[in-house]
Structure 1
Amino acid sequence: MSVRIDIAGLRQERVAVVPSPLAELGMALHALSESGHHPGLQGWATGVTARLDPHLADRMCEADFLWRSTFSDLFLACAGVPGRATLPGATLAEELDLLDKLTDEQFVDTALEFTCALPYSAHGPAALSDAGLRRRALELAAARGPQQVRFSERLLADPPRIRAWLRQFLEDCEEAFFAETWARLRHQLAADARHKSELLRRKGLAEALAAVSPAVALDESAARITVDKLGDGRTATEDGGLLLIPTSLGWPHLMVLHRYGWQPVLHYPVGSPELATPPSVEQLTLRLSALSHPVRMRLCRSLARSAFTTSELTQVHGMTAPEISRHLSVLKKAGLVTTRRRGRYVLHQLDVTVVARLGSDFLEGILR
């Protein structure tokens, strides 16, 4: 599973690495709503929440589907501006002006992305003009509660009013907490953007993407970027550009905007505790599958304590050598067990460092 970006004909000067205050505000709202995704930000989230005006906190809940379970592309509004080459603004006000340039159809379809009722990677009808999609969107909104239904009804009935509501809400968030947060983070983001831009200029796109995340790879012969994720999608730069937008609040999320007709965007975390080489989704699946068998769990208990030969394991667990070898082969293929030779003996031992990382690997993999 992966998201692919076809970049045939993409010129290097059409690749831009730029911070986005609107995207970072969206990520801040997500971190406040889903602090469990971001354990490293709990101190910041607690401090912001403690001094948040109750009225603003209520409004934050009113439309939290835009940033809680999914990260709405509205926070990457520059990518939807016609021409597919617009860069993020330097200030939140400039970015909100770009958000205002989206059509009502774009705004509504993007805001209703959480319902999964609308086409994403392919062209399709718009909710404002398709009665069936409108009904489906409201049905799915109902699963999230009456507040989301009321908001969705207002959105579909009067998009300009909701657009004005959202802009005012985001401006109020800036005044309440985000201006201070952005002042602290923007220098780190600007430094990362300069670093990636220099890599792009001196060493090319492959090196710049490798520095973005080990989960991002460039196949130059196929003119394709592949992002290892637990989901499928496809987009193309076509006659537009490619945006790389860093976030200081985003780990473990590595997001790819691949909406039809929009400029592709890689929204990637910087300064994170991400492992230098996190396992691929396939490797993570192998490891979890390998540990799901009760016999292999018992073998791991022994191998975590000491190195064992196959013969020793047969005696400890009362199994035949072929049975032990078969289970060891699964564990080794998953990268959970190491082997070393001592004279004529082959010793097997659990790689406890890899096993200890499984929790963070799993979280990074499913939230990437």
Structure 2
Amino acid sequence: MSVSIDITGLTPERIHVVPSPLAELGMALHALSEPGHHPGLQGWATAVSARLDPCLADRMCEADFLWRTTFSDVFAPFAGIPGKSELPGATLAEELDQLDKLTDQQFVDAALEFTCQLGYDTQRETDPLSDPETRRHALELAAARGDHQVRFTMRLLDDPPAVRAWFRQLLEDCDEAFFADTWSRVSHQLAADARHKTELLRRKGLKEALQAISGAVSLDEQASRITIDKMAVGHTRTGEGGLVLVPTSLGWPHLMVLHRYGWQSSITYPVNSPGLAAPASVEQLTRRMAALSHPVRMRLCRHLARGSYTTGELADAHGMTAPEISRHLSVLKKAELITTRRRGRYVQHQLDLGVVSRLGSEFIEGVLR
């Protein structure tokens, strides 16, 4: 599974690496609502939550489906502006002005994306603001998500300008309450990362820059296609527009691809943190989970966690034939869960405890990516 971006005809001058205060505010709101996704930010989240005005906290809960489960494209309004060449603003105020430039239909589509699943990377022929059947379907889908989603959806469909004004005021109040201070601390890191990636683009090209962003992002230069390894399927193309790479400090492990139909392509990626291993691919993760699902291989792992053993020793210990053990070891080896080394005439196998210890976090990262 993956999301791909067709970059046929994309020229270097239309590729930009730009931090986004609004995107980072979205990440901050997400971390506050889902601190379990971001163990490294739990201290920050606890401190911010403790000093939040209760009224503001309630208002944040009212709209949290825009950032709790995943991230609405309302946090990337630059991508929806006609021409597909706009960049994120330098300040939150500039980006909120960009948000105001979106049409009511664009705002409604982006806001209803995760509450109502009205489609994403394909063109819709109907508009919930004008088509009664689409409106009914949107409310029906929202009902499955809860009463407050229904209330929000009804308000949005009945009076988009009022909801947009309410949402802008909410973000401005969040900025005053906690985000301005957070942005002043993280913006320098993001600017430095953007400069570094821009220099990589200039000196070594897009492939090197994408590899530096994440091991989950790759470029097939022959096919003019960027592939982002995610537990999702999607496709878009840059066409006459650009490609915007947005670094985030608060976003790890999330790697997000904006591939909404008609919007500019964008990838939001977490800046590198010391000690983080390269992310496992979805295929790797699937192999590892499948390898560990067999009871015999689980018993072999328990044995191999304690030391190095030959195939013959394992066969004797488990009452199986050497070919049977070899087949199971082959699966574990293909999943990169064991290491093999030769000592004289003998080949010994041992569990790679480093890989196994990361498996839980790799699974979390894979499903949250």
Normalised-by-shorter TM-score class: over 0.9
> Hey, what's the Cα distance between the residues in 1 that align with 2:137 and 2:350?
53
> Hey, what's the Cα distance between the residues in 1 that align with 2:133 and 2:206?
43
**2:120/2:260 contact within 8 Å kept:** yes
> Hey, what's the Cα distance between the residues in 1 that align with 2:364 and 2:111?
26
> Hey, what's the Cα distance between the residues in 2 that align with 1:119 and 1:155?
17
- Cα deviation 1:148-192 (Å, max 9, x = unaligned): 111111001110000000000000000000010111111111111
Find the residue that maps to 2:305 and give its secondary structure: helix
Q: 1:274 to 1:258 in 2, by over 3 A?
A: farther
**1:192/1:246 contact within 8 Å kept:** yes
1:71 Cα deviation after fit: 0.2
State the match for 1:78 in structure 2. 78
Q: CA RMSD in A?
A: 1.1
State the match for 1:101 in structure 2. 101
**1:66/1:111 contact within 8 Å kept:** yes
> Hey, what's the Cα distance between the residues in 1 that align with 2:70 and 2:185?
25
Q: Map 1:51-62 onto structure 2 (within 5 A).
A: 51-62=51-62
**2:18/2:247 contact within 8 Å kept:** yes
1:321 Cα deviation after fit: 1.5
> Hey, what's the Cα distance between the residues in 2 that align with 1:355 and 1:120?
36
1:344 Cα deviation after fit: 1.5
Structure 1 residue 14 and structure 2 residue 14: aligned? yes
1:212 Cα deviation after fit: 0.8
State the match for 1:227 in structure 2. 228
- Cα deviation 1:68-106 (Å, max 9, x = unaligned): 012000000100001100011111111000000000000
Q: Which amino acid aligns with 1:149?
A: V
Q: 1:294 to 1:273 in 2, by over 3 A?
A: farther
State the match for 2:157 in structure 1. 156
- Cα deviation 1:18-54 (Å, max 9, x = unaligned): 0100000011000000000000000000010000000
**1:117/1:133 contact within 8 Å kept:** no
Find the residue that maps to 1:357 and give its secondary structure: helix
**2:116/2:142 contact within 8 Å kept:** no
State the match for 1:28 in structure 2. 28
State the match for 2:265 in structure 1. 264
The runs of 5 or more residues in structure 2 that have no matched partner are none
State the match for 1:89 in structure 2. 89
Structure 1 residue 314 and structure 2 residue 304: aligned? no
**1:235/1:264 contact within 8 Å kept:** yes
1:118 Cα deviation after fit: 1.4
> Hey, what's the Cα distance between the residues in 2 that align with 1:10 and 1:105?
28
1:130 Cα deviation after fit: 2.9
Q: 1:126 to 1:191 in 2, by over 3 A?
A: same
1:133 Cα deviation after fit: 2.5
State the match for 1:347 in structure 2. 348
Q: 1:75 to 1:274 in 2, by over 3 A?
A: farther
State the match for 2:204 in structure 1. 203
Find the residue that maps to 1:127 and give its secondary structure: coil
**1:252/1:274 contact within 8 Å kept:** no
1:345 Cα deviation after fit: 1.2
Find the residue that maps to 2:76 and give its secondary structure: helix
Q: 1:41 to 1:343 in 2, by over 3 A?
A: same
> Hey, what's the Cα distance between the residues in 1 that align with 2:279 and 2:90?
32
- Cα deviation 1:307-363 (Å, max 9, x = unaligned): 111111111111121211111111011111111111221111111111011011111
> Hey, what's the Cα distance between the residues in 2 that align with 1:165 and 1:274?
41
Find the residue that maps to 2:339 and give its secondary structure: strand
**1:117/1:136 contact within 8 Å kept:** no
> Hey, what's the Cα distance between the residues in 2 that align with 1:116 and 1:233?
18
Q: Which amino acid aligns with 2:137?
A: R
Structure 1 residue 247 and structure 2 residue 248: aligned? yes
Instruction: Determine what percentage of the aligned residue pairs are the same residue.
Output: 74
**2:337/2:351 contact within 8 Å kept:** yes
Larger CA deviation: 227-236 vs 123-132: 123-132
1:294 Cα deviation after fit: 0.8
**1:2/1:230 contact within 8 Å kept:** yes
State the match for 1:335 in structure 2. 336
1:274 Cα deviation after fit: 7.1
Q: Which amino acid aligns with 1:351?
A: D
**1:248/1:272 contact within 8 Å kept:** no
> Hey, what's the Cα distance between the residues in 1 that align with 2:325 and 2:116?
46
> Hey, what's the Cα distance between the residues in 2 that align with 1:207 and 1:343?
41
1:271 Cα deviation after fit: 3.7
Find the residue that maps to 2:309 and give its secondary structure: coil
> Hey, what's the Cα distance between the residues in 1 that align with 2:122 and 2:224?
20
> Hey, what's the Cα distance between the residues in 1 that align with 2:274 and 2:148?
36
State the match for 1:117 in structure 2. 117
Larger CA deviation: 341-350 vs 244-253: 341-350
> Hey, what's the Cα distance between the residues in 2 that align with 1:206 and 1:174?
36
- Cα deviation 1:253-286 (Å, max 9, x = unaligned): 0000000000000000014367342221001100
State the match for 1:366 in structure 2. 367
Normalised TM-score (structure 2): 0.98
> Hey, what's the Cα distance between the residues in 2 that align with 1:110 and 1:134?
15
Q: Which amino acid aligns with 2:69?
A: S
Q: Which amino acid aligns with 1:33?
A: S
> Hey, what's the Cα distance between the residues in 2 that align with 1:273 and 1:331?
29
> Hey, what's the Cα distance between the residues in 2 that align with 1:363 and 1:107?
31
